[in-house]
Amino acid sequence: MSHAISKNHNGNGDSPRSLFVENLEKAYTKGNLILKGLTFEVHGETTVGIIGPSGTGKSTLLRCINRLIEPTSGKIIVAGQDITSLSGTRLRLARRHIGMVFQEFNLVERLSVIENVLCGRLGYLPSWRAWLRKFPQEDINQAFKLIDQVGLGEFATQRADSLSGGQRQRVGIARAMMQNPDVIMADEPTSSLDPKTSVEIMELLKQVSATQHIPVLINIHDVNLAQRFCDRIIGMSQGHIVFDGPPSELSPEHLKQIYGGEDWLA
């Protein structure tokens, strides 16, 4: 059975779904920068793998983009809107369009697959509807459609805690898609999965990017997976971007610069 993800056109010639990061800095303590003036942009159906050693700021970058943490300085522009200038209600409205796929899935274990996917629409509902989880029928229909598209149609009514790791990650991807996002970010989405399932999840994320015409940023430790499935690699080291280009141009010399050591040149 095919689970091809249907295309979601925006109605105009060029997709507004884009991300600009300009001179982004983040310091958790004064004078100790974790992110050091990062600048890059991503447009439309592009899958970007962000690689680098632990502690170099990859997860901090994603958390700044979705404003889970506050940037120290710089700009983050999602679909033309500078989210670093927003607060309160305006920030909550903007964050609805930033999908997030988490390393540990972040599902509500006692809820069913369909209920977890529908959580992607909570930011669009009046507070009373969100509290009671009274979703419009249109949202329910879309959730079932997305569940089928990520290959879990027969599991729609099962509790999340009955699923395998790979199935849970598929639920997380469907939940992110349910937001109708302008960008999706995945923070180590394969780190707790076996090799076969990791390949399947990367294939799914690439398919989401291509068919929904949105950038997908993937923080990933597995360089081989990044090179295989990503259109573009951003390599980080000590808070700086030291490589930004297609996977075919990522050389052992670049990997040495990113990770250090001599093993990459062996």
Give me the amino acid identity at 55. Answer: G
pLDDT score at 6: 46
State the DSSP string of the chain: ---PPPP---SSSS---EEEEEEEEEEEETTEEEEEEEEEEEESS-EEEEE--TTSSHHHHHHHHTTSS--SEEEEEETTEEGGG--HHHHHHHHTTEEEE-TT----TTSBHHHHHHGGGGGGS-HHHHHHT---HHHHHHHHHHHHHTT-GGGTTSBGGGS-HHHHHHHHHHHHHHT--SEEEEESTTTTS-HHHHHHHHHHHHHHHHHHT--EEEE-S-HHHHHHH-SEEEEEETTEEEEEE-GGG--HHHHHHHH-SSGGG-
Structure tokens at 90: 């305006």
Structure tokens at 80: 């033309």
Three-point CA angle 40, 31, 92, nearest 5°: 55
The domains of the chain, with CATH numbers, are 14-97+182-266 (3.40.50.300), 109-180 (no CATH)
d(CA 220, CA 236): 11
pLDDT score at 47: 97
Q: What is the pLDDT along the chain (266 residues), one digit of tens a residue?
A: 345 554 443 433 344 789 999 999 999 998 899 999 999 999 999 999 999 999 899 999 999 999 999 999 999 999 889 999 998 989 988 888 999 999 888 898 999 999 999 999 888 776 766 666 778 899 999 999 999 999 999 999 999 999 999 999 999 999 999 999 999 999 999 998 999 999 999 999 999 999 889 999 999 999 999 999 999 999 999 999 999 999 999 999 999 999 987 665 54
pLDDT score at 141: 95
Q: pTM score, two decimals? A: 0.89
Neighbours of 2 (CB within 10 A): 5
pLDDT score at 187: 94
Structure tokens at 30: 């004064």
pLDDT score at 16: 72
